[in-house]
Amino acid sequence: MATGSDAHRQEDPANTTSVSNLQTEIKGLTETAQQLLTDKLLLESEISQVKKRASRLEEEIRNLRTPPMVIGHIQDLVDEGAIVRSSNGTVFLVSINPRIDESLLIPGARVALNQDNLSVIEVLSDSWDPLVVTSEIIEKPSVTFDDVGGLEEQIVQIREAVELSFTNREDFKRLAIDPPKGVLLTGPPGTGKTMLAKAVANSTNAVFLGLVASELAQKYIGEGGRLVREIFDLARKRAPAIVFIDELDAIGSKRLDSATSGDREVQRTLMQLLSELDGFTPLEDVKIIAATNRPELLDNALLRPGRFDRIVEIPLPDEDSRLSILKVHTKKTPISGRIKLEEIASRTDGFSGAELKSLVVEAGVSAISKGNKKITKSDFLGSLEKLTTNRMKDKNDNSSGLYD
Ligand code: ATP
C-alpha cells in the first residue's frame, strides 16, 4: 500500500512541467523587469542631461537677448556717481552698480556701461589699454644729434621746424606766423628717421610719444580715431611733446572709393589725425613728426600746407655720411689701428645707417667669439661679407619696394 509520502514522491508529470514553465516564465519576467529598470534608469539620466542642456541653451538665448554694453572710461568720481566718457567721446554723469569693488573705480578705468542709462555695470581689465600697448613714451630720449651720422642738412630743417617754434614762440606771434605743426620724414628703412625725432625731443626737453601707425588701424569701429584723440590729449597734457608716427602710410594712404568697412575704419582714423593736425585746440607745444618709406602712397590731404609743413627727405647715406655713421658707432669701441673706416665706408655703397650699425655689431661679436680685446680688420671684412650676402638674399626675396 502506498504511503502519503510515496504519493508525494510520485508527482504528476503534467504538474512538474507546468511548474518548470512557471519558473522559466518568472525568470524571464524577472529579467525583463531588470531590463526595464535599467532602461528606466538610463532614460532618467538621459532626461536629466537633456534638461541640463535645455537650461544651458535657455541661458544662451537669454545672453543673446541681453543688449550689448557700451564701453567707456571713468573720468572722475563724484558724490552722485561717476563721470564717464563713452567710446564715441560723449561725457555723462551716471550711477554705479553698488556691487562693484570701490577700489577698482579709479579715473581712467575701462568700464562696461548699461546701454539704456549708461550706469557703470562692471570694471574691465586694463591690460588692453591702447595707450600702453601702442605707444612708446619716453620722458626725455637719450639720443642726441651727435649720435646721428651725416644728415646735417636734414637736422637743420628739423631743428628749424620744431625747436624754433618751442623756443621762439613770441617771435612767431610778433610776425603773425603760425609755427609749423609737423614734419614728415620720408626715406628708406633704417636711415635714422626715428633717431632724428628722438634727438629733437632731447634737444627741446620734450616728451617723446612714439607710435606705429599700423597699430592705430584697429579692428573695432571708432577705436582707431579714439586712439589718435587720446594720444594727442596725452601729448597736450605732457607738453612740450613730440608725437612720432612711424609708417604713416598705414593710415594715411590715398582714399579709395570702393572701400571695405576695414578701409573705412582706417579712413576714420586718418580723418581724426587730420582734425588733430588742423588743431581744434592749439598744438603750439605739441609737434608731430611722421615717417614713411612710401611717400607716394600718402593721401594728398596729409601733404596740404598747414598739416605737415615740412617734408624732409632722408636718403641712404653717401660715402661721407657712411663714414660719419661708422665713426658714431665705433666711438666707444676699441678697434685695431689697421682698420681704415674710410675703406669700409667706400665698400658699403647702398647700406643704410641701421645696416652700418649691424656691421659694427657683427664685427664686435666676431672679435668677442675669438677672445680678442679689439675689433680687427678681418672681423670687419668677415661681417661685411656676411651682411652683403644677406642683403643680396633679401633683395632677391623682396624686389617690389620703392627704395630697394
Ligand atoms: P624705419 O623706417 O625702419 O622705422 P628709421 O629710418 O626710423 O627706420 P632708425 O630706427 O632711426 O631708422 O634707425 C635704426 C638704427 O640705425 C638706429 O638705432 C641707429 O643705430 C642706426 N642709424 C640709422 N641711421 C643712422 C645715422 N644717420 N647715424 C647713426 N646711426 C644711424
Tell me the pLDDT tens digit for each residue of 324-381. Answer: 999 998 888 888 777 888 888 888 888 889 999 988 888 888 888 888 888 888 888 8
Q: Determine contact, residues 208/242, Cβ cutoff 8 Å.
A: yes
Q: Domain for residue 345, yes or no?
A: yes
pLDDT at 401: 44
Q: Domain for residue 65, yes or no?
A: no
Question: How many other C-beta atoms lie within 10 A of the C-beta of residue 281?
Answer: 10
Picking from 269, 293, 313, the residue at the C-terminal end of a domain is: 313
How far apart CA 227 and CA 211 sit, in angstroms, is 11
Together in a domain, 161 and 294: yes
Q: Domain for residue 50, yes or no?
A: no
What is the average per-residue pLDDT within 59-85? 84
Tell me which residue range forms the domain holding 328: 319-393
Together in a domain, 233 and 328: no
DSSP 163: I
Together in a domain, 193 and 242: yes
Q: Is the peptide bond before 240 cis (omega within 30 degrees of 0)?
A: yes
Task: Name the residue with the closest Cα to ligand 1, atom 9.
Answer: 192
Q: How far is the CA of 262 from the centre of ligand 1 (A)?
A: 31
Q: How many residues belong to the chain?
A: 404
Q: Determine contact, residues 182/309, Cβ cutoff 8 Å.
A: yes
> Look-up: residue for cell 519576467?
29
Picking from 269, 297, 313, the residue at the C-terminal end of a domain is: 313
Q: 323: pLDDT confidence band, cut at 50, 70 and 90?
A: very high
Q: Is 311 exposed, middle or buried (0-12, 13-18, 19+ CB in 10 A)?
A: middle
How far apart CA 337 and CA 339 sit, in angstroms, is 5
pLDDT at 402: 42
HSE on the CB side for 41, CA within 13 Å?
5
Looking at per-residue pLDDT, the higher value among 120 and 266 belongs to: 120
**Ligand 1-lining residues (CB < 6 angstroms):** 148-151, 189-195, 246, 291, 293, 325, 328, 353-354, 357
Q: How far is the CA of 57 from the centre of ligand 1 (A)?
A: 57
How far apart CA 224 and CA 217 sit, in angstroms, is 6
Task: For 373-387, write each residue's pLDDT tens digit.
Answer: 888 888 888 888 888
What is the average per-residue pLDDT within 177-185? 84
Q: 193: pLDDT confidence band, cut at 50, 70 and 90?
A: very high
Q: Domain for residue 99, yes or no?
A: yes
| Best mutation site among 184, 186, 194 for ligand 1 pocket (most ligand atoms within 8 Å of CB) | 194
Q: How far is the CA of 141 from the centre of ligand 1 (A)?
A: 14
Picking from 58, 93, 124, the residue at the C-terminal end of a domain is: 124
Together in a domain, 175 and 323: no
Together in a domain, 82 and 98: yes
| CATH number of the domain enclosing 101 | 2.40.50.140
Q: 131: pLDDT confidence band, cut at 50, 70 and 90?
A: low
Which ligand 1 atom minimizes the distance to the CA of 246?
4
pLDDT at 324: 92
Please determine, for residue 1, whether its predicted confidence score (pLDDT) is greater than 50.
no
Looking at per-residue pLDDT, the higher value among 1 and 173 belongs to: 173
Together in a domain, 113 and 243: no
The pLDDT mean for the chain works out to 81
| C-alpha cell at position 124 | 574691465
Together in a domain, 112 and 186: no
Task: Name the residue with the closest Cα to ligand 1, atom 8.
Answer: 190
How far apart CA 84 and CA 97 sit, in angstroms, is 14
Q: Domain for residue 36, yes or no?
A: no
Q: How far is the CA of 188 from the centre of ligand 1 (A)?
A: 10
Which ligand 1 atom minimizes the distance to the CA of 328?
29
Together in a domain, 277 and 370: no
Which ligand 1 atom minimizes the distance to the CA of 148?
28
Q: Domain for residue 7, yes or no?
A: no
| Best mutation site among 357, 361, 402 for ligand 1 pocket (most ligand atoms within 8 Å of CB) | 357
Q: How far is the CA of 353 from the centre of ligand 1 (A)?
A: 6
| CATH number of the domain enclosing 196 | 3.40.50.300
| CATH number of the domain enclosing 353 | 1.10.8.60
Together in a domain, 113 and 164: no
What is the average per-residue pLDDT within 118-135? 68
Together in a domain, 113 and 165: no
Together in a domain, 219 and 357: no
pLDDT at 227: 76
Task: For 254-285, write each residue's pLDDT tens digit.
Answer: 665 545 555 666 777 777 788 777 765 555 68
Count of domains for the chain: 3
Query: Does the pTM exceed 0.85?
Result: no
Which ligand 1 atom minimizes the distance to the CA of 151?
27
Together in a domain, 110 and 153: no
Q: Domain for residue 257, yes or no?
A: yes
Q: 400: pLDDT confidence band, cut at 50, 70 and 90?
A: very low
Please determine, for residue 136, whether its predicted confidence score (pLDDT) is greater than 90.
no
**Cα–Cα distances in angstroms (integers) from residue 240 to residues 168, 201, 236, in the given order:** 13, 9, 8
Task: For 230-255, write each residue's pLDDT tens digit.
Answer: 788 888 888 888 999 888 888 777 66
Q: Domain for residue 115, yes or no?
A: yes
